[in-house]
Chain A
C-alpha cells in the first residue's frame, strides 16, 4: 500500500481512461487540436482568455516555463522551507539563486503575507503553495492579496494550487483580473488522478499573452494527456468523490492516529511521529 505520493486512491475518471484508449488510434500525429481544445476549455472554466492558460507537462512543466520567462542568471527566487523541492531545482536549472522563507512548526506552519514579506528582499519570483506541501496549511486569499500588494514591481508571485480542489479556500485565480504580478499553478495529477500522464497548467496575467510561444516546449503535453484532461474535467462527480473521500480520510487520521497531526486542506496529513530514536531523557530533578 503506497500512501507516499498523494495520488488519487480512486484512480482516474473512467471517462479519462476511455479517452486515453481512444487516443491510441492517433498517436502518430503531433498533438495540436487537442492542445487548443484543452486550453479553450480551461479558459472557459476559469473565465480567462485562452492566452492566459499555459498548458504544460505537469505543474512542474509550468514551473519551468515561468523560470524561463522570468529568470536571468543569478536572479533569486524565494521558496518556502519546508517546501516542495522542484521550485528551487527549476530556478537552479535556469541559473537562478534560491532563498528561503521559514514556516514555523511551532506556529502550525501558518502562512500569512508577513511570513513571506519578512524574508522577502526583492526576489524575482516568490513561491507560495496553498494548500502547502507537506504541511497541508493554506494561505487565505486576503493574505495573498496583501502579498501581491507588498512585493516590488518586477516580482512575480506564483501560487501553487496543485492541491486546490481539496481546499475550501477559493482559488487565487480570481485575483488575475486585478493583479498582473500573479501566476496560479494547477495540475491534473491529484484530484483528477492523472499523475502518470503529466498534465497541468499555469494561469497567468492577460499582459503575458505573447510569452507562452516564447517559452513553451513544442508539443510538450501528449495527445493522450490532453484528451484525458478534457474528459476528466467533464467528470465532476469523480472529482467530488475524490475530494469527499480525502476529507473523510483526513478526519480519520486526525482523530485516530496516536501522534500529533497538523490541520490539512489537502489529500494528505502531516504527522509528528518522532525520529524513531529513543527520546532524550529529561535531566532528573533534584529534590
Chain B
C-alpha cells in the first residue's frame, strides 16, 4: 500500500491518504492501524 509521505511538503511525521473505493479505504485504514500498533509496541 502506498500513501504520500508529506516531508516534501514540509510536514514530517504526516502522511496524506487518498480516498479510495470503500474496500480500498477500509483496507488502508486497517493496514495503517496495524503499523501504528506495531510501532507503539516497539516503543514500550
Contacts and interface: CB of A to CB of B under 8 A. Distances in A.
Interface of A: 1-7, 9-10, 81-83, 85, 105, 134, 245-246, 248-250, 252-253, 256-259, 267-276, 278-279
B15 A271 contact: yes
Interface string B10-27: 111111111111101111
A134 B6 contact: yes
A105 B12 CA distance: 12
Contacts of B8: 85
Given A7-B18, A9-B18, A249-B25, 8 more contacts: A1-B27, A4-B3, A6-B19, A245-B19, A245-B21, A257-B32, A268-B19, A273-B32
A248 B17 CA distance: 13
B29 A4 contact: no
- Secondary structure of the A side of the interface? loop
Nearest to A262: B14
Contacts of B36: 258-259, 273
Contacts of A272: 13-14
Contacts of A279: 43
Band of interface residues on B = 20 to 34
- With most chain B CB atoms within 10 A of its CB, the pick from A81, A85, A257, A267 is A257
Contacts, number: 117
Given A273-B13, A273-B32, A249 B6 contact: no
A267 B19 contact: yes
Nearest to A6: B18
B21 A253 contact: no
Contacts of A248: 22, 25
15 contacts: A1-B20, A1-B28, A2-B2, A3-B18, A3-B25, A9-B21, A82-B6, A83-B9, A252-B26, A268-B16, A270-B14, A273-B13, A273-B14, A273-B15, A278-B42
Contacts of A3: 1-4, 17-20, 24-25, 28
A269 B25 CA distance: 11
B19 A269 contact: yes
The 5 closest A-B pairs by CB, nearest first: A249-B19, A82-B9, A3-B18, A246-B19, A249-B25
Given A257-B32, A269-B17, A271-B15, A9 B24 contact: yes
Contact of A269 (B13, B16, B21): B16
Interface centre among B4, B10, B19, B24 (most CB of A within 10 A): B19
